[in-house]
Amino acid sequence: MAGSRPPRLLLLGLDGATLDLLLPWAKAGELPNLAALIERGACGTLRSTIPPITPCAWTTMMTGANPGRHGIYDFVLPKAGSYGRRMASARDRQMHPVWLLANDAGLTAAVLNVPTTYPPDSLNGYMLAGEMGAPSFNPSATTPTALYEDLKAAVGGFPMQTITRTTRGYDLAALDAQVANRQAAFTWVLDNRPADLFIAVVNYTDHLEHFFLQDRALDSDGRHVEDMVLYGYQAADRLLGSLLERCDASTNVLVVSDHGAGPLRTYVNIDRLLVEAGLLAFRGGSGVQRGGFLRRVAQATPDWIRDALPKQWRRGALEKVRQEYEGEIDWRRTRVFRRGTGFGLELNVQGRLPEGTIAAADYEQAREEIIATLRAAWAAVPELGGLEVYRREELYSGPMSDLAPDIILAPDEFAVEPTAAPSPEAGVAVTLEEMHHYGAAKRFKIGSHRLNGVLLAAGPDIKTGATPEGAALADVTPTILHLLGIKAPEGLDGRVLTEILA
């Protein structure tokens, strides 16, 4: 567009994109813009955080720091001194993201839809908080507030409703609308609100992998799509093409993902595992969770009613179910419990928690015993496959380490995912077929995350044909700063990926 000025660096984030899918499709001619970018630039993997979940992964990428420094480990954080939890937000992020570091050096930034960036920063530039974490598209989701009005007027806003597969089907028209909206919003900002650093993320790549990775064809409203995951990658490829049209030879371009994706093989009913191992107990005779009234109501609620509820209501209802769950646990007979996704487990330590069962002085010994017990209980269920167990200090370091779970599970390279008991009868391993059986009216995922994220780069300062070596998410921020001619601050965990530089 006349009068607009291309960014010096453009980063497009494709949540959950993996080279396992992207490269074969690029070679087969399905993704022409991504293929051309690979042809003229660098291509490789970016190691994700452990666990490879969206909030901590994007925050690590955008701060150059591990969760022990930036403080975001999961979708939720513990409420201090209690068994409760609250949603993690950008207020919990303890490190400056790359766009504020660019501001400090006198550069402007436009930052659109990066997960866990609500509330948006006050910055020299433009920011739209990420749909992952923002309550809805409203004036509080943008900086400045005028960007809300502008996007509403120009592209009809930025609806933050996740489109998911349900047993009733999948709304292909709604996906198409979201794809078109993201493209319109991002290109409008590029055309009308120029900035030195442009960052934009789409989530539909990840959603489609979760819901279609092992069952990809879709018939909807008289249309047939052979491969919904490819459909999402092709949408992302067109988006990249329209962003590149607005760049010139001076722009360095990065395409990144926060983690990879692969088939979800089976679920682990983590509470059942802990109960059977004698580490967690529910009130009542059997010690197994029976599920309270609210949980039964939630399970009986049809998907179409859930989908019709505003995001804040659904979130509120989830928290009520969670509080009921906390009330069902017999804390005096519990040594370890889950608070977030279930990859992280916390010890019930005296002083830290109101009904602690482990004396602080016994922490190390208790944790080793619990790990040994967990490993044995896991190995007794062969369907679960392999298990890596980490102590928190093996993964995280920094002043926010106290917020980390004590034990972190990496089950079968994340092809196995924890689930809350789908039914009182469910065993420790819950296959996808059993999930169908237990939750006939429920949505559930058939794809899960992997550790291999993506890094593609091209531009005047990128070496053609280069491969990043052992690159990790935290390396992205120092590399962006270097490409912008800014010296990275002290104390970041990442490094400049010099091997991809021209």
In angstroms, what CA-CA distances link 46 with 41, 82, 150, 225?
A: 16, 36, 35, 30
Give the count of residues interacting with Zn ion (CB under 5 A): 5
Which is nearer to Zn ion, 54 or 348 (by Cβ)?
Answer: 54
Rounded distance between C-alpha atoms, residue 419 and residue 389, angstroms: 18
Smallest distance from the beta carbon of 258 to Zn ion, in angstroms? Answer: 4
In angstroms, what CA-CA distances link 322 with 120, 124, 156, 313, 317?
A: 27, 39, 35, 14, 9
The three-point CA angle 463-466-468 to 5° equals: 120
237 touches Zn ion (CB under 5 A): no
Residue 232, classified by CB atoms within 10 Å of its CB into exposed (0-12), middle (13-18) or buried (19+), is buried
Amino acid making up residue 492: L
Rounded distance between C-alpha atoms, residue 126 and residue 141, angstroms: 11
Rounded distance between C-alpha atoms, residue 11 and residue 200, angstroms: 6
Residues 263-282 close enough to bind Zn ion by CB under 5 A? none
417 touches Zn ion (CB under 5 A): no
Which is nearer to Zn ion, 60 or 142 (by Cβ)?
Answer: 60
Smallest distance from the beta carbon of 352 to Zn ion, in angstroms? Answer: 30
One of 258, 346, 406, 434 touching Zn ion (CB under 5 A): 258
* DSSP 8-state secondary structure symbol assigned to residue 223: E
- 407: which strand partners? 345, 391
Which is nearer to Zn ion, 142 or 257 (by Cβ)?
Answer: 257
Which is nearer to Zn ion, 15 or 237 (by Cβ)?
Answer: 15
Residues 186-225 close enough to bind Zn ion by CB under 5 A? 206
150 touches Zn ion (CB under 5 A): no
Which of 416, 406, 369, 410 has its CA nearest to residue 388?
A: 410
412 touches Zn ion (CB under 5 A): no
Which is nearer to Zn ion, 15 or 417 (by Cβ)?
Answer: 15
Half-sphere exposure of 452 (CA within 13 A, CB side): 15
54 touches Zn ion (CB under 5 A): yes
Smallest distance from the beta carbon of 165 to Zn ion, in angstroms? Answer: 17
Which residue's Cβ has the minimum distance to Zn ion? 54
Distance of alpha carbon 258 from its chain centroid, rounded? 7
Stretch that binds Zn ion, among 12-20, 78-86, 189-197, 279-287 (CB under 5 A): 12-20
Residues 165-184 close enough to bind Zn ion by CB under 5 A? none
Which is nearer to Zn ion, 210 or 246 (by Cβ)?
Answer: 210
One of 6, 8, 12, 15 touching Zn ion (CB under 5 A): 15
Stretch that binds Zn ion, among 16-24, 207-215, 323-331, 387-395 (CB under 5 A): 16-24
Peptide bond into 411 cis (omega under 30): no
- Catalog residues that contact Zn ion under the rule CB under 5 A: 15-16, 54, 206, 258
